[in-house]
Amino acid sequence: MGKMIDYRNAPLKQIAAGARSAEITGADGQHMSAEYIKLDAAGKFESTVPGGSDQYFFMLSGEAEIALRGKPGHAMKPGSFGIVQENLAYTVSARGGACEVLSVVAPPPGRNGKLPGFQGGLKVLSMHTEPVDHFRDAKKQRIYLVTKEAAGSERAHGMIVKYVPETETTMHMHPDCESLFVFLDGTTRLTVNGRTDTGTFGKAAFFNCGDRHDLHGTPGGSYFLEFHIPYRYTTVR
């Protein structure tokens, strides 16, 4: 029935010098693996994207640089979104102070990676400069970050969603995808595990295939990063 994760207050494990992480999906994720990474002022971590997977990074706070091995780096500021192609080695380094990064691997290592993925090496974009789609009847906005059309990948559907106080996404479920909501600003009211909860910065909600959930706007408005993995999915109300 889903779970709410207070990842900023979760126990952290050391993954590299000056770099610590906390699981968000953990063993519950079958189609995605998400984690929170905190870098000290001089922290960095290096890894390689698993074969058959895309890896996505979203800058939560502070500034960092992401680079492929032997290539120039790209700056990442709050709201920046990075996509790295499978089998490529990368480095993420803090710049100018401590920073916080969300990492999502789709699908997780060892899972079925037969769907076409991102083939552009490394791409960095910003939610602040990408086009905004307005859904006036639904009273919300979307900024697409990874889709088949935007990134050539069928492994994930990722976007920023903005709510106003009157926005109502009624109870529904996705029988063929997992969903992740990472709350970035304001307060979003939602149902998790059959109970009403609130999403604020530092929290994320994860839903397995078939978990029923709803989301509602609150005074002041809000926005969050939303993933549905894999890209092709259905909605049942």
Residue-level pLDDT at 111: 86
Q: Do the domains spanning 7-126 and 133-229 agree at the CATH topology level?
A: yes
Residue-level pLDDT at 193: 83
- Classify the C-alpha dihedral 16-11-28-106 as positive or negative: negative
The yes/no answer on whether domain 133-229 falls in CATH 2.60.120.10 is: yes
Residue-level pLDDT at 77: 98
* Per-10-residue mean pLDDT, the chain, length 237: 95 97 96 98 97 97 97 98 98 98 96 90 97 97 94 96 98 97 98 94 98 97 98 94
The CATH architecture annotation of domain 7-126 reads Sandwich (2.60)
Q: What is the 3-state secondary structure (H, E, C) of 42-81?
A: CCEEEEECCCCCEEEEEEEECCEEEEECCCCCEEECCCEE
pTM greater than 0.75 (yes/no): yes
Task: Give the C-alpha separation, 189 to 22, whole Å.
Answer: 24
Residue-level pLDDT at 1: 76
Delimit the domains of the chain by residue range. 7-126, 133-229
